[in-house]
Chain A
Amino acid sequence: MSDTQNLTLVQAVRDGLKGELERDDDVVVFGEDVGKNGGVFRATQGLYEEFGEERVFDTPLAESGIVGTAVGMAAYGMKPVPEMQFSGFAYPGFDQIVSHAARLRTRSRSRFSVPMTLRMPYGGGIRAPEHHSESKEAFYAHEAGLKVVVPSTPHDTKGLLAAAIRDPDPVVFMEPKLIYRAFREEVPDESYTVELGEATTRREGDDVSLFTWGAMTRPSMAAAENLAGEIDVEVIDLRTLSPMDWDSIVESFKKTGRAVVVHEAPKSGGLGAEIATTIQEEALGYQRAPVQRVTGFDTPFPLYALEDYYMPEAARIEDGIREAVEF
């Protein structure tokens, strides 16, 4: 049996990067403060020292430059892993992400591809200033040509990150910074992949299916446990948001006939709507109640004095589950 280490999620990011840097010389890691500083969340700690400035380097403060150069490197055959310091600061690079990373394959009829993994911490709850707390995964999932991955455990983080880096297409890898250090898990030392596009069942249940991802997995599990004995909740962690694992979603829904989607992103235009509609398209005959969405509000993410009201917490999720079941 191979050895394991007890890692936090952010340590698993680092471990995953290290594994891929060792495995493939074409992998390079760069962005703002990822070098000597080891990243503002320490996700790249020690990599600059270990792999040198050619493979792990700081860039000027310019997201369009970071993503745009990554597109160029990737088209040339490298495996760039650029970092956006926070997802809220990715927007100067948004044009490069959606106009080029997502489309170079289509534009060149697959002559060029962009095997880039764009890491970005996302999500609220860390008492940070404005623009440090948003969840905008729907922006990226809306864009054809991009894959979108959101891990929720250290083990998955390392495996999904490796799969993303090895994937031939661009992957937006969104890291739930709220749970960067929330808990530890045994993570194998050797490198491994967790397949992109596959959801996982965190808890089996018969009464209602709860679909979630990232940092919302924990309060969702807490809500399910609080209701145990009364309502039997199945919790499915989607892990990859594009392409989504529709088979698992529909299969679970056919079993329970009820669904709750939990995301911290705003409600309107969020992925909850996509899931609810697909369920209707694929399994209307099984449906026993309207699909409930427990989400952030359709407001800008507030400064931290109010952020705890913005984020779905266990009580709010329980409320949504009851709504679905008591219909």
Chain B
Amino acid sequence: MTFGYGSTGGTAVSVLETDPREKVQVLAEDGSVVEGATVPDLSEETFVEMYRTMKLARHFDERAVSLQRQGRMGTYPPLSGQEGAQVGSAMALRDEDWIVPSYREHAASYVHGLTLEGTLRYWMGDERGNRLEDLNIFPVAVPIASQIPHAAGLGMAADYNDSDEVFMCYFGDGATSEGDFHEGLNFGGVFDTPTVFFCNNNQWAISVPREKQTAAETIAQKAVAYGMEGIQVDGMDPLAVYQVTSAAVERARSAEGEQLRPTLIEAVQYRYGAHTTADDPSVYREDDEVEKWKAKDPIPRLEAFLRDRGVLDDERVAELTDSIEEEVAEAIDTAEEYTRPTTESMFEHVYAGMPERLRQQQAYLDRLQSEHGDEELLE
């Protein structure tokens, strides 16, 4: 059973008090508002931005997968189906807040300012795509769950510095099995850190289904063990995600009295595509299951809602589609125009100052390059 909640935090009973075994929802699958739910108070413009960003993420994802297929990009982790959770949650942040991502948060990072070409370059095997100048986004963390303690530590440092930044940490359902999940949340609770622990439960960790990660009924209920609020939300309902995340961000920034600042959010969603382009999901799951989840797709869902309110019509949707295609195509062109990083860059960022031995190794590679030429050397 799902429930809708009207408040967005701050009011008498916060949406965060919802039982962690229930699932918060605002939009029904057909885009109508669930009985008793209150639609977040956003401007028309912001609603359209939410819609456009999800649509852009979907299109970007399709293009990225095809770039990999064409040999123009390395292994890539697709996000289709997960746009609602990523966009809805990241839109709840202020610019000064931080995203501490795993490796699949291309859309959340885009909302927080990361360019599409930055994401592309990273997955094209170029570290420069991971240097997010002036953006409060931590680099991609590939080892599962390893970023969770970082997010708690960043929060501890912000506290120490009297800053009111909030740290939004993303991870998957599989990540909740790692020791780092436990340690990160436990520190979050003990040190009462300004962290939102956001679990993108997309039902699968590569081929292992959610039921095999934990015998617990929900992931959200694990929060109880850390003394913090845990809440489950329909992760394919961008408005519900926005509502719940806004309340958690608000609490992280300015919890009062007995309330702990960190929250564990479990956003229930589905990964439509492969785990990465190196994976073949037909080996371990049925197409029927994918189709069932596609009925909850966040994009048509928000579109129906906005059409119903007269915010979107065919013409506006077509305009948005064109501008999205243009933006993504441009980003791909820009990313592909970059030349390969220099071999020096391999040695440059290991330490602040380069030890002599590393300098010698760099000189050795330079010599090999000039004596043999790249073609012979890399044969």
| Residues of chain A whose beta carbon lies under 8 Å from any beta carbon of chain B | 32-33, 35-38, 40, 58, 60-65, 88-89, 91-92, 127-132, 267-268, 297-300, 302-310, 313-316, 319
Contact = CB atoms under 8 A, between A and B. Distances in A.
Given A60-B214, A131-B142, A313 B365 contact: no
Given A36-B207, A298-B361, A302-B127, A64 B343 contact: no
9 contacts: A38-B283, A40-B206, A40-B279, A89-B143, A92-B179, A129-B142, A299-B358, A303-B126, A309-B346
A305 B341 contact: yes
A299 B351 CA distance: 10
Interface string B360-379: 01000100100110001111
Contact of B127 (A58, A303, A308, A310): A303
Contact of B125 (A40, A303, A315): A303
Contacts of B357: 268, 298
Contact of B208 (A61, A65, A310): A61
Interface of B: 74-75, 103, 122-127, 140, 142-144, 174-175, 177-180, 205-208, 212-214, 278-279, 283-284, 340-341, 343, 345-347, 350, 357-358, 361, 365, 368, 371-372, 376-379
Nearest to B103: A129
B138 to A, nearest CB: 14
Given A298-B361, A299-B346, A310-B346, A40 B378 contact: no
Contact of B378 (A35, A92, A313): A313
B368 to A, nearest CB: 6
Contact of A304 (B125, B178, B378): B125
Given A60-B213, A62-B179, A88-B143, A127 B125 contact: yes
A306 B341 contact: yes
Contacts of A36: 207, 283-284
B347 A32 contact: no
Determine chain A's interface SS by DSSP, over half rule.
loop
Given A37-B206, A62-B178, A313-B378, A305 B142 contact: no
A305 B143 contact: no
A203 B177 CA distance: 47
Contacts of B377: 309, 313, 315-316
Q: Which 5 A-B pairs have the closest CB atoms?
A: A37-B207, A304-B125, A60-B177, A61-B174, A305-B125
Contacts of B207: 33, 35-37, 58
A298 B358 contact: yes
Contact of A299 (B279, B283, B340, B350): B350
Most B-side CB within 10 Å, residue of A91, A267, A297: A297
Contacts of B124: 305
Contacts of B279: 40
B213 to A, nearest CB: 5
Contacts of A304: 74, 125
A61 B214 CA distance: 10
Given A297-B361, A306-B341, A58 B208 contact: yes
A135 to B, nearest CB: 16
Contacts of A130: 140, 142
Contact of A305 (B126, B175, B177, B376): B126
A132 B279 CA distance: 15
Contacts of B376: 315
Contact of A297 (B123, B175, B208, B347): B347
B228 to A, nearest CB: 22
B50 to A, nearest CB: 29
Contacts of A268: 357
A94 to B, nearest CB: 12
B368 A129 contact: no
Given A131-B143, A300-B350, A309-B346, A58 B361 contact: no
Contacts of A315: 368, 372, 376-377, 379
